[in-house]
Amino acid sequence: MLDIKRLRTEPELVAQALLRKGVTLDLDNFQQLEAKRKSVQVSSEGLQAEKKKASKLIGQFVAQGLTVDQAKEKVAEQLKDLDQQLAASAEALQQVQNEIEALMLTLPNLPHASVPDGKSEEQNLEVARVGQPRAFDFPVLDHVSLGERRQQLDFESAGRLTGSRFALMRHEIAQMHRALGQFMLDLHIEQHGYELVNVPVIVNDQTLYGTGQLPKFAEDLFRLSVEQPYYLIPTAEVPLTNLLRDSIVEPEQLPFKFTAHSLCFRSEAGSYGRDTRGMIRQHQFEKVELVQLVAADQSYQALEEMTAHAENVLKALELPYRKMLLCAGDMGFAAAKTYDLEVWLPSQNTYREISSCSNCEDFQTRRLQARVRVDGKPQALHSLNGSGLAVGRTLVAVLENYQQADGSVLVPKALQPYMRGVERILAP
């Protein structure tokens, strides 16, 4: 959530920044609401103060020896009509505040100054290109053909067991998938200094409000049909970032660096017809997530580091990729600055997103009340999240980039220790 104080003090600036994200803020409406809120809140709190005083007065009289009825008699004049006014005033206040809150919840984070203008992914900026796409002297297969040829990728069974956009992996492909997750976790724990966390994949609505998935993006989530407001997580970012909710930490505890390997669930509403073939876009997938909670003045350095941590996975697996700086209009709701990593997919002859690393600044932590004590005063932390990496898409990239003419797939050197030394899978 945006800082409402900023909206009050520099509304034009905020509106301009929002425009870069493609959001038009009705300033007149906002300022009207604010004016109303101010007057109603001042009078409401004034009435409340009056009532408190009167009640305390009764207490004093009783302490001096009057009976309760006598005491009430003495302040009856003051209390007259107060209740009615107060009730009306409190209700009015609640209503304006609800309206303002509802408005605030729809506003995305502001883009950082270093983020380029742009409406969609066409305006994203390529900032680095690493590795050379391999030249193939045979017709390349996509991962679906590679996997189905040996009955190790089975979308038909998954479709029967559940429905579309689910995958079933077997044997060597299932093993490689598992190995990838373990390999990534170890890298982040041992080389990059992250703490391993095993998170629940079901969370309540409050948690999803904290990171900004609710209320705006409810249709992207799977909600459980139980009495409680329980949802499947769309990413481990949700539980990891919420770990520091309602807490004030000491500066020396920073930075918090969490990693988790989890299942992720997305309803993918509104993406019918996109990436329908294969494992690129699934309702259920695995991801190794990186989350950092850092001091406000450290977050942009942390973003560079965290992106490098994700890149190190691709480098270790020797997968060609490029690093994109997202333009303002293509960024997510909570992000102030985002780098996407896109891996080369030979079958599509293009780069496809495999990681997204964002600095959310204090957009999430403000709601979460995740703070650090600086000079005795609580200050909102900055939160960052990044995929390190999406495991299913990494599997796709390995299968396709390491494929051989006979339909087999070489195992990347770095992955072999995680597959008991196996050097090749899907051999004919």
Partner RNA sequence: GGAGGAGUGGCAGAGCGGUUGAAUGCACCGGUCUUGAAAACCGGCGAGGGUGAAAGUCCUCCGCGAGUUCGAAUCUCGCCUCCUCCGCCA
Distance CA(347)–CA(413), nearest Å, equals: 22
CA distances (Å), origin 202, targets 133, 228, 282, 388: 39, 11, 18, 21
Taking the least distance from each CB to RNA, the nearer of 96 and 167 is 96
Contacts of 354 (CB under 8 A, 6+ apart): 314, 321, 341, 342, 343, 387, 389, 390, 393, 394, 397
Q: Are strands 247-249 and 370-374 parallel, antiparallel or unpaired?
A: parallel
Tell me how far, at minimum, the Cβ of 265 lies from RNA, in Å.
Answer: 19
Distance CA(336)–CA(340), nearest Å, equals: 13
Tell me how far, at minimum, the Cβ of 132 lies from RNA, in Å.
Answer: 47
Q: Which two tokens stand for residue 104?
A: 């605030």
Tell me how far, at minimum, the Cβ of 252 lies from RNA, in Å.
Answer: 11
Tell me how far, at minimum, the Cβ of 254 lies from RNA, in Å.
Answer: 16
Taking the least distance from each CB to RNA, the nearer of 21 and 371 is 371
Residue 251 backbone dihedrals phi, psi, to 5 degrees: -55, -35
Summarize as ranges the residues that interact with RNA (CB under 7 A): 4-5, 38, 41-42, 45-46, 48-49, 51-52, 54-56, 58-60, 62-63, 68, 71-72, 79, 248, 369, 371, 376-378
Taking the least distance from each CB to RNA, the nearer of 89 and 152 is 89
Tell me how far, at minimum, the Cβ of 116 lies from RNA, in Å.
Answer: 31
Distance CA(375)–CA(251), nearest Å, equals: 10
Instruction: Report residue 238 CA to chain centroid gap.
Output: 6
Tell me how far, at minimum, the Cβ of 196 lies from RNA, in Å.
Answer: 20
Give the residue among 388, 373, 378, 422 at the shortest CA–CA distance from 402: 422
Distance CA(293)–CA(256), nearest Å, equals: 5
Taking the least distance from each CB to RNA, the nearer of 130 and 249 is 249
Taking the least distance from each CB to RNA, the nearer of 71 and 167 is 71
Give the residue among 241, 175, 168 at the shortest CA–CA distance from 409: 175
Distance CA(380)–CA(364), nearest Å, equals: 9
Distance CA(167)–CA(284), nearest Å, equals: 8
Catalytic residue numbers read 266, 281, 353, 356, 393
Taking the least distance from each CB to RNA, the nearer of 58 and 233 is 58
